[in-house]
Amino acid sequence: MDEVREFLDDLQKHAYAKGNLLGLLHVLIGRRIAKKDGTVISHGLTWRELAVELKRSRLDPDAVKELGIDPASLPPRDRQRFWYSAISLAQVGSPEATTAGNKLAAILAKAGYVISPAPGGAAS
């Protein structure tokens, strides 16, 4: 999981995913992420694994507002449960999530990452 942590750190450092939390969740859960040199970062994470990584990366909890979720409605003291709950409400399998994931994949391609197509071959 060190590769995922480094990936999330890089995304935060350069604000690649700023304003696109839905796309980020979609990509991290359902797509293969690699560096241009072929080093695999992730083959997809479970919701639980992703919640742990988002907690460790100290992603701003207010980011869930992008998803139409009030941060105060999520578990305030346990960040892993906070992020798991946010993921469960985000509809990461929706067509909107696929579109957001494709948008993020295009941004990340310019930054040196290779993101696989959406599951099921749905491209937008």
pLDDT tens for each residue of 74-104: 998 899 999 999 999 999 999 999 999 999 9
Contact status, residue 20 vs residue 98, Cβ threshold 8 Å? no
Q: Specify the DSSP class assigned to residue 73.
A: G
Local structure of 115: helix, strand or coil: strand
Contact status, residue 83 vs residue 51, Cβ threshold 8 Å? yes
Residue type, 117: P
Beta bridge partners of 46: none
Helix (H) or strand (E) run with residue 6 in it: helix 2-14
Residues 29-74: tens digit of each pLDDT = 999 999 999 999 999 999 999 999 999 999 999 999 999 999 999 9
Q: Where are the domains of the chain?
A: 2-117
Whole-number average pLDDT of the chain: 93
Tokens describing residue 58: 């100290």
Among 39, 11, 14, 6, smallest CA distance to 25 is for: 11
pLDDT band of 121, cuts 50, 70, 90: low
